[in-house]
Structure formats: C-alpha cells, structure tokens
Structure 1
Amino acid sequence: MNKNNKIIDQFFRDGVSQGRRLLRELEPDYVSVDERDVSDLLTFVQKYATKLNYYDESNRINGDWSSFFGGDVEQMVAYINNPESFADEPSTQRQLAQPHLVLLFTFLQLLRYPQQQFKALTQRYLDFYYKEVLQLTTKEEVPDKIHGIFELAQGEEAHLINKGTLLSAGQDSQGVNINYATDEDIVVNQAQVASIKTLFVEKNYIGLEVV
C-alpha cells in the first residue's frame, strides 16, 4: 500500500490558466503617454497660468493669467459635459460661457482625439515590430470544437446522426446563432460507460547498497 502523500499533492492541485498568468502590466493599454482627463487638464491650466506674466497696455507686468482661468474645476467639467444643466443658474452660466473659456473647453474636447491615438501607440509599435521587423504572419482561423453528449429518446434503441448535422449552442453576445456541425456519422445506442478507473504505478529506485 502506497503511503506517499506527495502523490496526492501531484494529482490534486489548482492550476492557473494561461489567461490568468498574463500580467495586466504587460497589456498594451495598461499605460498611455497622456492619461490626463479634462479635470486634470483644467487643473494644470490654472496652475500654469500662475507662472505666466500678464503685460498691460504699457507693456509692464501686471500680475499673471490666473484670473482668466479661475473657477471651480468641477463646475467647468459639468459645463463641458452638459451646458444646459446650468440653465437655472444664469450667473454661473454667463461666467462659464465667456469666449476665452469656451475656446479652452473646445480645445480640451478636441484634445481627446490625439489622446486616443496615444493610447494606441503601444499596440501600433508592437504590430510594427512583429509584422514588419520579425515578419510574423497571422495564423488562419481555426474552427471551434466541442464535445457533444447525445441521449436517446424514450423507446429508441439506436439513432443515426449524419455527418454535418447542426447542433445549436445558443447565441453569442451579438445575438448571432452559434451552430456546431458533427464531423462524422454517429450511431447513438444504449451503450453506456459503467465506470472509469485510473491506474497509477509507483516506481521505487534503489541503490546498490540496498541490494
């Protein structure tokens, strides 16, 4: 009788799939060149405006540009997302609708497009490296395979399922029907698997001193 408990550790253990082994940090969209949102950019503009000298009509320094972009950042973001939400606050709406602020808000909205391109920069570099430098090609699509279980209707002794018979597997996330086709003729009968057993052979290696 085998009393080696190590065998149990070898047979009964939780595995880790390839997908679970993938580190999130290695995915192309994990980090971007510019990850700032509108709130971050507005805060940056307000702080940067304090570093810029304002010159009056006499070409003399008269403070900075912070007063041009002052205000509550959360209010600005809310106005950018939905200007009509300030319809009941005419004074705040007039303040946020000033031409120089609207011009800034428009610029920040347009800035989202190059930011999206920045996010795709890593993937584009990987595509260039694998396809152009290494000259790797994409493998052809491989049909999905499943194992089907058939059960005879009551009173039936056997039934032939022809090759190419479609088996419905429901629908995918897009609502498209999923069908699988049998790859050979199958005769379903009353035969059943009575039991399944596993044989394990333990090898004990002995040295000359034991002999």
Structure 2
Amino acid sequence: MSSRERILGRVRRALADVPRDDTPYEEAVARDYLREHGQRSVEETVELLAENLADYRAIVHRCTPDALPSLIAGLLADRGARSLLVPAGLDERWPAATEVPRVQDRADSTAHELDRVDSVLTACAVAIAETGTIVLDGGPDQGRRRITLVPDHHICVVRVPDQVVSSVPQALERLDPARPLTWISGPSATSDIELDRVEGVHGPRTLEVVLVDSRASAEVSSSRPEGSR
C-alpha cells in the first residue's frame, strides 16, 4: 500500500459517519468575501504585482517576447551560470540566445545533482498582484517542484497580462487543487526570534521574475529590491 492510499484510507474512515445528506463542501462555507481589494485597471494590477514582488526582494524585469531570449542570456551571464535546468515543456525560444549548458529535468535527479545546478528557468501558472506571489502547478513548462526548490537561482517568466490576477480568490479559480502547487513570494527566506533574515533556506536565494508583455515597447527594464546589487 502506497502512502497516498494510506492517507486516503484515513480520510475515508474519518468521514464514514458523515450523513449522506450533509451540506456539500462547496456550500458549507460562505463565499461572500471580497474577490479583490479595490478596483484597478490591467496596467495598475501589473504595476502592483511588480511592486509587491520587489518588496519581497525578487528582482523584476520587463520585456517584450522578442527581447526575452536576450534578456535571459544576459541574466545568466551576469550570474556567471555554468548550467541551466529547463523543464521539458519550456518554450525552446526562451533560452535560445544563451550558450550555458542545459540540464534536463529528470525524475531520477537527486537533490545533490540539482544542488550543483546554477540556475533554473521556468514559466508559471498564475501571478497574484495583491500578494506578490507566483504560483507554479508542475505544468510542462514548470517542471517538478524540486527543480525550483534546490537550485540557488530561479528565473520565472510571467506572461502579462494573461497570467496576472488581482487576488488569491481569483487565482484559486484558475488552479487545479489536485496539482502540486508551489506558492512563491520572493526568494526563500526565514527569520529567527531576533528578526535576522536568512535567505536560501529551503529554496533559491535569488528569484528573478520576468514580466513579458506583448503590448509593451521593445525596451527592457529592471527593478531590483532596495539593497540588492
């Protein structure tokens, strides 16, 4: 018996005495809370996302689809990356301008092997403006959860405005709860009781988010959190 089967068995036993005519889960909790806080235009929502991402110490870049390959190549060169992990379903055009050797996402890759990878490049499922959160769902262009938790540098591409929503409730409507969801608000960090912040504890020390907007000009811009280099 697998761990999954064991857990589901416990859930079934815990629910065995629930009456069949009990209130369905979808109706048991009132869903009359605000779907978003205030009214914003698409541009204002994207600006809020960029602001909150930077506030969480992510490094935010903006570009057009045509400029994306050169931007990614530049980020990897600035990082001095010697290896780049790419999910199997990632758009091949994105890393096309870089000569950094590729590492494929393999199911049998160990944590030690992934720890030797310098950078990982993925897409995302959705981005939440109000919380500055990027959500991955393990799709073909995002790969398995571990590839964005072990390497020290994560470049995540967000398609603007299609993948940007205002709030968590709006994001949940787009996500499949049965998929392996990873919610990312800035680089991995923790603080002790003295509020000393330590980054890179259980995920990448550096998170770079690229907002790709087909409506924008060809100009490439970046915004770094205060104190970053």
Give the TM-score band, short-chain normalised. under 0.3
The normalised TM-score by structure 1 is 0.20
Q: Specify the structure having the higher radius of gyration (Cα).
A: 1
Report which structure shows greater RCO (CA 8 Å, sep ≥6): 2
Normalized per residue, the structure richer in strand is 2
TM-score after normalising by structure 2 = 0.19
